[in-house]
């Protein structure tokens, strides 16, 4: 008899949590569907990319993007919108990047490249390595590391 009442008690306690999970997933699905159906986010993204196209952390464009999104969020019906200070390393480009390959005939074949922040610099003498040519991702997978 004790086990029966204990089992009923446990089920009574656990049951609302299952119901809550279902309600949460329904609510989250509703948010997801609303985001897909609404063009608000798409319009904000278009504006953001137009106003601040290069938004690497620590750049002036990043500050413009932060200000834009702060202003956009202030227009929305959020109860609170505020900024918190954060420290990020400022990325500075040290001149124009160049990359080329030499097929052994001494003729340099230049590639279009751009460096991203946070990476280490290439040694002054550059990098020299063998080129491995593959025809597909499957072939690359068979080569391993």
Q: By 3-state DSSP, what share of the chain in percent is helix, strand and coil, each rounded to 5? A: 50, 5, 45
Tell me the per-residue pLDDT of 11-67, one tens digit each, with 9 for 90 and over.
Answer: 566 555 555 667 888 888 888 888 888 888 889 889 999 999 988 788 888 999 999
Assess contact for 47 and 39: CB atoms under 8 A: no
Tell me the per-residue pLDDT of 85-118, one tens digit each, with 9 for 90 and over.
Answer: 988 877 766 677 788 888 778 888 888 887 776 6
How many Å apart are CA 111 and CA 99, to the nearest integer? 5
pTM of the predicted model as reported, rounded to 2 decimal places: 0.52
Region 127-139: mean pLDDT is: 87
CA 100 from chain center: how many Å? 29
End-to-end CA distance of the chain: 64
How many residues belong to the chain? 145
């Amino acid at each position: 008899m004790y086990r029966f009442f204990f089992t009923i008690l446990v089920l009574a306690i656990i049951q609302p949590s299952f119901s809550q999970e279902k309600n949460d997933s329904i609510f989250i699905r509703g948010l997801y569907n609303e985001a897909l159906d609404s063009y608000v986010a798409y319009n904000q993204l278009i504006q953001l990319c137009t106003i601040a196209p290069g938004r690497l952390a620590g750049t002036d464009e990043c500050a413009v993007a932060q200000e834009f999104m702060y202003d956009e969020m202030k227009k929305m019906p959020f109860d609170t919108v505020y900024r918190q200070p954060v420290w990020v390393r400022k990325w500075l480009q040290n001149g124009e990047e160049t990359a080329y390959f030499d097929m052994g005939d001494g003729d340099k074949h230049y590639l279009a490249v751009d460096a991203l922040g946070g990476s280490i610099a290439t040694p002054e003498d550059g990098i020299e390595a063998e080129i491995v040519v593959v025809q597909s991702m499957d072939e690359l997978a068979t080569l391993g590391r």
